[in-house]
Structure 1
Amino acid sequence: MHILVTNDDGPPSGQSSPYVHSLVSTLQSSGHTVSVVLPHTQRSWIGKAHLVGKSVRPTYFRPSPLVTQNGRLSNSGTVSSRPLPEDSLDEEWILVDSTPASCIQIGLYHYFQSRGPIDLVVSGPNYGRNSTAVFSLSSGTIGGAMEAAVCGVKSIALSFAFFDRNHDPEIITNASLLSVKLIEHLYKTWDKDTHLYSVNVPLVENVLGRKILYTNMLQNAWRSGSCFQLIEVPEEEDQGPEEVEDAMRKAEQKLGRKEQGNLEGSGTGSGYETPTGAGHVRYTHKHFKWAPRFKDVYQSVEESEEGNDGWAVAQGFTSVTPLRANFMHAPGEFKGEIKLEQ
């Protein structure tokens, strides 16, 4: 297959994008032609957005060979403002200063024609789960796959759900191996009413021997109030998206440890003051910081019945959720375990 890969975490990085190089290498080792277009920086929580009115300027990433260094998979490479010569045989990925959805548009229609038609889009692997509606509706990973679906191309949104931040090379390698087998299986058996699949692979030991289940998407909600925290007037510049995402992953990791333990054994107000006259509202000047409460997601999963994507990931299973490109579950009977060819 000719597979187009994007993500919402940006180019390979131990801090913010530790999985994409492993997946690309595993797809290539399985005989697939892989073309890669990624955002040039972290673009999580951006959904299927495009940056309207902004010119897109590509740069070019040349990944170094994937090796294990200091107990982790390396994620190094070089960036250039100019592409390699057309006769070069070196590997080169395209980085664009935009969103995952824009990466899909550019990758489908403006590059790679000499490689033949693109058969499948894989968006991911995301650094963290994209299970349940709360995460999925804002996910840039799923947004990229949605963009491909509305372009008429089969697509899979792939996420690696971590329970801690131990980037064990063997666990990541096995998650990539499972993902490639599952990608091939879904492509061969694609359901005619499904536009895209959302797949969550847990980063756990023996993932190749654990169940793969069709699931629905848990419909949950933010229940603790606003995802924005009221703060004092900031004295320093805002944090960049990489720093914010890293802090959020650390918070998610604390809750993930509780989930892993299970495997092994309010709002701030309306933001305005009482009206002082008919038709007149006096607002006070305030500052806010993005600070979602992940415990809402974990509690909704704990309270849910079996069969949804959040529940499957919490059990250490791989979830496969068939979707339509309108944020609806795909019709049909998707139940039970998926058996892959050995």
Structure 2
Amino acid sequence: MHILVTNDDGPPSNQSSPYVHSLVTSLQKAGHTVSVVLPHTQRSWIGKAHLVGHSVKPSYFRPDPLTVENGRFNNTGTTSNRPLPQHAQDEEWILVDSTPASCVQIGLFHYFKARGPIDLVVSGPNYGRNSTAVFSLSSGTIGGAMEAAVCGVKAIALSYAFFDRNHDPEIISGASALSVRLIDHLFANWDPSVHLYSVNVPLVEDVGSHKILWTEMLQNSWKSGSCFQEIEVPETEDQGPEEVEAAMRKAEERAGRKEQGMADGTDTPTSTGHIRYKHKHFQWAPQFGDVYQSVEDAPPGNDGWAVKEGYTSVTPLRANFMHVPNFSGEIKLGS
């Protein structure tokens, strides 16, 4: 099978993208042809966006063989602005300065023709879970799979749900081995009514012996108010996406471990009645506790519950905004 792999975490990195090299290597060992197009940097929480008006430029990543060093995968490689010569035998991935959805478009239609048609797009493995609606609706991982689906290609969004971030190679390898088996099974038994599957694999010991469950996506919402916090107006540049994502993952880890065991504004009216606004800066800081509490409050059977219990969750999805039924006819406005 020819599989296109993308993600929203960027090229291999112990800090921001620790899983993709393991999955690609496992897919290749299983006999699949794997083509890789990734964002050149962290693109989490971007959904199915494209950067309109942005000229997309590729670079080329050559991964080193995947080995274990100091208790972690090495996740190293070199990057070049030019591709290898046509006759070169070294493995090479494409990096683009855009979004996961754009990576899918470019991978499907602009590269890899000599390898034959792409049978399946795998988006991930995401660094962290993509269970429940509030995570999934903003997920770049699911966004990449959605893009493939609207292009008429079967797609799987794959996420690894961590409970701590020690990146144990044995646990990651177990998750990748299970993922390959599950990818093969889903592709071979694809339900024609499904556009994509969202898969969450928990990073736990011996995950291959745990249950794999069909689940529904838990429909939840943010309960604690704004997902932004006010910050002091900075004198220096904003943090980059990698720094912000790292801080958010620390918060997710704290919430995950707990799962296992705003001040008023100062806007004031003037004597003329017009509002005068205080100059403020804001930082994306979602309250992950909302998600974990919604899982605790919901009955079993949803994707969040399955991950919490250490099971692999498989949620069949359609790539559309499904309308609410039983609305029809003309709308008449009153006087």
Q: TM-score range by the shorter chain?
A: over 0.9
Q: Equivalents in 1 of 2:292, 2:7: separation in Å?
A: 24
**2:192 match:** 192
Counterpart position of 2:178: 178
2-structure distance, mates of 1:273, 1:89 = 66
Provide the C-alpha distance between the structure 2 equivalents of 1:140 and 1:209, rounded to a whole number of angstroms.
29
Alignment partner of 1:284 out of 263, 278, 294: 278
SS in 2 for 1:237: coil
Is residue 117 from structure 1 mapped to residue 117 from structure 2 by the alignment?
Answer: yes
Structure 1 unaligned blocks of 5 or more: 262-266, 330-342
Give 1:233 shift: 1.4
Report the counterpart of residue 235 of structure 1 in structure 2: 235
Query: Which residue identity is paired with 1:74?
Result: N
Q: Structure 1 vs Structure 2: percent identity of aligned residues?
A: 76
Name 1:318's counterpart in structure 2.
Answer: 312
2:125 matches 1:131 = no
Displacement of 1:235 in angstroms is 2.2
Measure the CA separation in 2 of the matches of 1:38 and 1:271: 43
How far is 1:196 from its partner?
A: 0.2
How many Å separate the matches in 2 of 1:168 and 1:302?
27
How far apart, CA to CA, are the structure 2 residues paired with 1:39 and 1:214?
Answer: 30
Q: Indicate the SS of the match to 1:158.
A: strand
CA 1:281–1:154 in structure 2 vs 1: closer, same or farther (change >3 Å)? same
Q: Partners in 1 of 2:73 and 2:271 — Cα distance?
A: 61
The one-letter code of the counterpart of 1:252 is E
Deviation at 1:310, TM superposition (A): 0.3
Give secondary structure in 2 for the equivalent of 1:322: strand
Deviation larger for 171-180 or 228-237: 228-237
Shift of 1:236: 2.3
Candidates 301, 306, 309, aligned match of 2:300: 306
Asked if 1:4 is matched to 2:4, the reply is: yes
Post-superposition offset of 1:283: 2.7
Task: Report the CA distance shift for 1:198/1:287 in structure 2 as closer, same or farther (over 3 A).
Answer: same
Shift of 1:276: 5.8
Which residues of 2 match residues 1-342 of structure 1 at below 5 A? Answer: 1-261=1-261, 267-269=262-264, 272-274=267-269, 280-326=274-320
Distance 1:234 1:102 in 2: 32
Is this contact kept in 2: 1:229–1:268, CA < 8 A? no
Deviation string, structure 1 residues 87-134 (Cα, Å, up to 9, x no partner) = 111100000000000000000000000000000000000000000001
Displacement of 1:287: 1.3
User: Per the alignment, do residues 190 and 276 of structure 1 end up closer, same or farther by CA in structure 2, a change over 3 Å counting?
Assistant: farther
Separation (CA, whole Å) in 2 of partners of 1:85 and 1:268: 58
Please state whether the residue corresponding to 2:4 is helix, strand or coil: strand
Q: TM-score, normalised by structure 2?
A: 0.93
Q: Which runs of 5+ in 2 are unaligned?
A: 324-335
Q: Distance in 2 between matches of 1:28 and 1:184?
A: 13
- Residues 137, 327 of structure 1: 8 Å contact kept: no
**Contact conserved, 1:165 with 1:253, CA < 8 A, in 2?**
yes
- Deviation at 1:284? 2.5
Report the secondary structure of 1:95's partner residue.
Answer: strand
- Give the superposed CA RMSD: 1.5
Residue type matched to 2:192 in 1?
A: K
Query: Does the C-alpha gap of structure 1 residues 182 and 276 become closer, same or farther in structure 2, counting only changes over 3 Å?
Result: farther
| Alpha carbons of structure 1 residues 56 and 300: separation in structure 2 relative to 1, 3 Å | same
Q: Letter of the 1:149 partner, please give it.
A: A
* SS at 2:260 equivalent: helix
| Contact in 2 for aligned 1:225/1:268 (Cα 8 Å) | no
Q: Partner of 2:237: helix, strand, or coil?
A: coil
Q: CA deviation at 1:281?
A: 3.9
Q: For residue 114 of structure 1, what is the amino acid of its counterpart? A: A
CA distance in 1, matches of 2:320, 2:310: 28
Please give the alpha-carbon distance, in whole angstroms, between the structure 2 residues aligned to 1:178 and 1:273.
Answer: 57
| Structure 1 letter corresponding to 2:170 | E
Deviation string for 1:221-262 (max 9, x for gaps)?
A: 11001011112211222111111101111111111112222x
User: Is the 1:164–1:256 Cα contact (8 Å) retained in structure 2?
Assistant: yes
SS in 2 for 1:173: helix
TM-score, length-scaled by structure 1: 0.92
**Paired amino acid for 1:258:** K
